[in-house]
Structure 1
Amino acid sequence: MAKKDVKKIGKTMDKTKAKKWVKDYQKANPDAELNGYLYGRDILEKLCNYPGSDGIWIFKGLNDDNEECLVLFPADADGNILDKKMKSLGAAAKINTRDEDDPANSGSPCPPECPIGFGG
């Protein structure tokens, strides 16, 4: 990955434009099975607080039931996935617990659990 300040990748945007982009996507893809995922603060903080983490990679994946999902990984200052101390990639979901093999892929999908005005 090119040298950038990983902590500064991404920016805020006007909420009207953000909502428009989401609705435009949903309108252009009416048959999409998935519009988004909700992740709680706890898992995001665990990933951000993983030793050496400066960001989070979010990848599309297919779960064991062949359903589309998102998988999150902590990233270092160079954008590399921090997996050296994990039992498996993405295991940071359960950092500091007894079950460290679960990837961070258990967000609430939309649909069916969508916020008002966003889909499903």
Structure 2
Amino acid sequence: MAKKDVKKIGKTMDKSKAKKWVKDYQKANPKAALNGYLYGKDILEKLCSYPESEGIWIFKGLNDNNEECLVLFPADSDGNILDKKVKSLGAAGLKDPGVDDPADNGEPCPPKCPGGL
């Protein structure tokens, strides 16, 4: 099987289809505590700015208050989480030694949700 180009995984989709998928999920899960998260451009660019970053892994997690959250990690061209490489290779020579750090703290919906969905 041919190796996938990690940086090309994912694609844009029709806006009406995207809204339908979100509404269908919300309708099927009316008791879901959260429907989505907002992340700012700065943290997404920071995760992608690591020299070997080709993508971002997004995992569900539980924070210190036992609340559902998302945790984002930069990924290399093989889909490996980059923090593992940094630990094995060391952080010497990095301009920003924290750039490979995972991210969290997205703005949950609800309470703050976008209009139009």
Q: Which runs of 5+ in 2 are unaligned?
A: 88-94
Structure 1 segments of 4+ aligned residues over 6 angstroms from their partners: none
* TM-score (structure 2 length as normaliser): 0.84
Alpha-carbon distance in structure 1 between the residues aligned to 2:35 and 2:52: 31
Counting aligned pairs with the same residue, the percent is: 79
The answer for the alignment partner of 1:85 in structure 2 is: 86
User: How far, CA to CA, are the matches of 1:109 and 1:42 in structure 2?
Assistant: 17
In the alignment, what sits opposite 2:67?
67
Distance 1:117 1:32 in 2: 19
- Equivalent residue pairs, number: 108
| Distance apart, 1:27 and its partner CA | 0.5
What root-mean-square deviation, in Å, do the aligned CA atoms of Structure 1 and Structure 2 show?
2.2
1:107 corresponds to which residue? Answer: 106
Note the C-alpha offset of 1:96: 3.2
1:53 correspondence with 2:53: yes
In 2, the alpha carbon distance for the partners of 1:48 and 1:117 equals 28
Structure 1 segments unaligned to the other structure (5+ residues): 87-94
The normalised TM-score by structure 1 is 0.82
Larger Rg: 2
Deviation for aligned residue 1:3:
2.1
